[in-house]
Every structure is written in structure tokens, then in C-alpha cells.
Amino acid sequence: MFIQSNKVPADVKAHAVKYGDGSHLPPNFKEITAAKFAASKFFVYSPDFWEYRQINAYNDPKGAEKFTGDLRLAYFYDGTGIAFASHYHGGGYVPRFFSFALCEHREKTCKNVGNCLSTYTCVACSYAETVDSSD
Ligand SMILES: [Zn+2]
């Protein structure tokens, strides 16, 4: 199956308001382990779109305290994402993995809405997702 790599958000300005612009870290940005990346939704869902950002102390002094360098960001349907960096360390390049999110959707309520269908609603932002558990 093909993956569209040049798709952009429907409203680029609204996207920048929510996620920051191309020289700032996205919200709730944090480094994750390779194991957490391997268990992430990156391997379950195709990203809606990709973005390239350069983070440095000149453009984002606060963000540069967490990370400096080039990032590839993969955005998912629910406002979360995974970011990648190639970091030069110890004479070679190593991958680094990050997560970000408008909301981390941690506390969810669950409601059965049909045969094997459950709707999970985030109590923090009200994002709702219906999951078919029969698959
Ligand atoms: Zn949420």
C-alpha cells in the first residue's frame, strides 16, 4: 500500500497555531525509548502527514533546552505524533525517538456502543474514538 508523503494539513495556519511553527517543538514533546517507539501507533496507523523542523536556540531558546537539531515529525489522526532525529554521537549517527501530542489522552472513559464496539473518550479533551475489539 502506498503512503502519501507530501500531504499537508487542510489548514496550515491552524496547524501552526496548534502545533507550533516549523522552528519550534510541538506540544508535549518528549524523548521516548526505542522500545516505546517500537510499541507506538507508528506501526499500526499511517501518519496523516509528515513535517520537517529545525530546532535551535536562536529560533526556540526554550525548546532548545530539550532538543536541538533536525526533526522529522509524523502526525496521526488523533492529535498525537512521533518524531525522529538522527544524532551524531561517539563517531557515528544514532536514531532518537520522540513523542508529542496536543493531548496525551491518558484518562479515558469507555462506553460499549454495540457488539464488540467501544467508544473511548478522553476526559481531558473529549476526543472520542470507537474501537472494534472483534478484529
Ligand atoms: Zn485528550
Distance 71 CA to ligand 1 centre (A): 24
User: In this predicted structure, what is the pLDDT of residue 81?
Assistant: 96
Using only C-alpha atoms, what is the Rg of the chain? 17
Distance 1 CA to ligand 1 centre (A): 30
User: In this predicted structure, what is the pLDDT of residue 64?
Assistant: 84
CA distance linking residue 100 with residue 106, whole number of Å:
13
pLDDT tens per residue, the chain (135 residues)? 565 566 888 888 999 999 998 889 999 999 999 999 999 999 999 899 999 999 988 888 888 888 999 999 999 999 999 999 998 888 999 999 999 999 988 777 888 888 888 888 999 998 988 888 776
What's the one-letter identity of residue 89?
H
Q: Euclidean distance between the first and final Cα of the chain, in Å? A: 20
Distance 102 CA to ligand 1 centre (A): 8
Distance 124 CA to ligand 1 centre (A): 5
Distance 93 CA to ligand 1 centre (A): 34
CA distance linking residue 27 with residue 16, whole number of Å:
11
User: In this predicted structure, what is the pLDDT of residue 4?
Assistant: 59
User: In this predicted structure, what is the pLDDT of residue 3?
Assistant: 59
User: In this predicted structure, what is the pLDDT of residue 6?
Assistant: 67
